[in-house]
Structure formats: C-alpha cells, structure tokens
Amino acid sequence: MDERVREHAEVLVDWSARVAAGDDVVVSVAEDAHDLAVAVAAALGERGANVTTLYDSEEVSRAYLKGSESRDGDFESDPAVDLAVFEAADVYLRLGGGRNTTATADVPAPVRQAYATARQGVREARMGTDWVSTVHPTRSLAQQAGMAYEEYQEFAYDAILRDWETLAEEMAEMKRILDAGNEVRLVTERDDAPDTDISMSIAGRTAVNSAASVAYDSHNLPSGEVFTAPYDTEGEAFFDVPMTIEATRVRNVRLVFENGEVVDFAAETGEDALASVLDTDPGARRLGELGIGMNRGIDRFTDSILFDEKMGDTVHMAVGRAYDACLPQGATGNDSAVHVDLITDVSRNSRLEVDGEVVQRDGRFRWEDGFA
C-alpha cells in the first residue's frame, strides 16, 4: 500500500475523528475510495472500534433516483434503516472519491430536491455524529482539477498530510483576533480586477478554528481555515476564483451589499446560476460565512470546495446559511436552504483589517515574517 494512504487513514481516524476503542464508526466508501477504506479499516481494527461500511456510489444513487421517476419522485420520509444507522453511530467517516464527478448529471433537479427534503432527519442524525468528510484522490478528481493523476495525488496529500497541531496553533491566533473583534474589512486594489472594499460586523460571534478535527468543531479533511458568521455587510467584493455552482462554471463574481443584503451582482460567466442561488430565499442574499484560508499545502485551485476554500492566501464568503458553532448558544444566525462559497485571492494588493488594524497584508499575517 502507498504509505500516504496509510498516513491519510491515521490522520483521519486519530487527529480528525478522535476514534476511541468501542466507538461505533460508519464509513461510507465512494466508488473509487477502496484503498483508503482498507487503510481506515486497518486503523479502526487496531483502535478497537466497530466498523460498518456503506457503499456510496453515485451511479447507484442515479439508478435509484431515475427509477423513482416512474413514481413521480415520491420518497418516504427518513427511512428506518438510514435513520437507525446514524442514530446508532458515534462517528461517521465519509470517504469521497468517485469515478465520474458528473455521474448524476441527468437526474432532474426536482427529483434530487424531493429526495433531499425527505431525508432531513437522516441528515440531522448524521450531523449529530462526530462526522468527518475527506476524499481519496482519484482519477476523476484529477480530471476535475485539470491535473495528471500522480500530480493530483501529490497535491491532495500535501493538503491532507499537514502538521495539523502546528497549523491549529497558528489558526488559534486568528481565532483570538476574530473573537475579540467587532468589524472586519477586506480591501483589494488590483489593476486586473475590480476593487473589493467590504465591511461586516462580527461582534458577538465566535470563530471556528477549523483544524480538520471534531475536537475543533471542524469536519473536513483537509481543512485549514478560520471562519465566523458575519452580518450587516456593506460594500462590494470581487471573487476571482472560478468555481462550479449547480454544475455551472461561475467566474469573476461581483456582489454589492447594502444593509446586509446583496443589492447588485454580476458574473463574467454563470450569472444565471448565481442569480438562481441568490433567489432561493431571503437568507440567500445575506452572508452566512466569512472564512480565512490558511492551508498553504493547497497551492492551486482544483474546482473542489473541500480544497479551494482552505487555500492559503485566500478569503471566502458564503451567501446563505450560517453555522451554529459561530453563534451565541441558542441564537439563530442567517438561515437559508443554500450555502454557497465564493473565493477571492488575497495574495497581493490586499489587506484584511479587524477593527481598523491590519491583520493580513498581501497574504502575510501580522505574526509572520515579511509582514510589512
């Protein structure tokens, strides 16, 4: 076995999910994630955890959903077995990595939505576990990223096999600044792109040090971002990192906020997809997340939000739903059916301020060498 696969499994089981003896662990295995599943099973056997493996095949899902069309996509609410699985589980490890990122492309959107809507309780039970989502680098993901397979493997393991403890300490510094702050402002001034000058309140909100571990309320591997739930957004921002929204490529998005809401928007490509997101519900026009990417193992965009939003020297903002972890106990933040991240490069001609003090300039944080 590739030693990196074994290391990936050990980071996932020990650092990310904190699996202990006796834990009931559900592992879902995408079509091409077999090798990682083998390594994870070995680690779980060593730790004395129990394991149940689910087959998470997009082709199987497509067949089921297309089959259901003859019944007008009428799905039972929270079917008993799936609910029982996640109610009984302590830990859920999702091993992504299929063979075709567009395997469900011909399933009509209403069928997908009906299926998702019918499974809200299953989703809540799953979110109630110590869940972690990761991917095994596959040829299909390499293709999505426009990379050769071995090149993509190196990219993915650079992102995943970090010194998480050290990165968590560095990110704790950013969390302290955001937790103590009241207002964040991001300014970028570049010749080749529209300016960004956007401000938002973060008073009373708690930042998450997303250090790829449930111990940090962080559920992605890789991770490496600090995020919070802003409100009262004002100004305009330009997002230059291309991404895929609802299977549509979207590039160079511009959003204008007034009184916390998007009042104007544009995109060089994919503007219809962006409009559809913003029209979902009132919450879709407000920010739900501000995130600071701090994983410098990620050095390029690969059209995968799991990686892109954590890239060092980027900042992302999501329209839509806010995460509870950022809110005061019992409070409700921005609510929406969507949560769509938009990313901007801050490696040059940029500054991020908290309460008027520059925290990051041209990609350098104020505690780093080279910060001017």
* Residues within the interface to its own copies (CB under 8 A): 22, 24, 26, 29, 31, 34, 37-39, 41-46, 48, 50-57, 59-61, 63-71, 74, 76, 79-85, 87-89
Nearer to its own copies, 49 or 208 (CB): 49
Closest CA to 135 of 339, 3, 306: 306
In whole angstroms, how close is the CB of 304 to its own copies at the nearest point?
23
Nearer to its own copies, 72 or 192 (CB): 72
In whole angstroms, how close is the CB of 27 to its own copies at the nearest point?
8
Nearer to its own copies, 67 or 370 (CB): 67
Nearer to its own copies, 72 or 163 (CB): 72
In whole angstroms, how close is the CB of 337 to its own copies at the nearest point?
23
Helix (H, G, I), strand (E, B) or coil at 270: coil
Q: How many CA atoms lie within 13 A of 62 on its CB side?
A: 11
Nearer to its own copies, 101 or 350 (CB): 101
Q: For tokens 């567009």, what's the residue?
A: 102
In whole angstroms, how close is the CB of 108 to its own copies at the nearest point?
13
Closest CA to 321 of 127, 149, 146: 127
In whole angstroms, how close is the CB of 153 to its own copies at the nearest point?
20
Nearer to its own copies, 44 or 250 (CB): 44
Nearer to its own copies, 10 or 236 (CB): 10
In whole angstroms, how close is the CB of 15 to its own copies at the nearest point?
18
Q: Which pairs count as long-range contacts for 124-130, CB under 8 Å and 24+ apart, including other chains?
A: 125/83, 125/86, 125/87, 126/86, 126/92, 128/86, 128/87, 129/26, 129/86, 129/89, 129/90, 129/91, 129/92, 130/17, 130/18, 130/90, 130/91, 130/92, 130/214
Nearer to its own copies, 89 or 168 (CB): 89
In whole angstroms, how close is the CB of 341 to its own copies at the nearest point?
29
Cross-strand pairs, 343? 316
In angstroms, what is the C-alpha Rg of the chain? 20
Nearer to its own copies, 28 or 360 (CB): 28
Reported in sequence order, the residue ranges of the chain that DSSP labels E, i.e. its strands, are 24-30, 50-56, 91-96, 130-135, 183-190, 193-201, 208-210, 220-221, 225-228, 231-239, 243-245, 248-258, 261-269, 287-293, 314-320, 339-345, 350-354, 357-361, 364-365
Residues 171 and 169: their CA atoms lie apart, in Å, by 5
Closest CA to 223 of 240, 244, 205, 208: 208
In whole angstroms, how close is the CB of 85 to its own copies at the nearest point?
6
Write the CA distances from 225 to 146, 159, 172, integer angstroms: 24, 12, 10
In whole angstroms, how close is the CB of 84 to its own copies at the nearest point?
4
Burial class (CB in 10 A: 0-12, 13-18, 19+), 293: buried
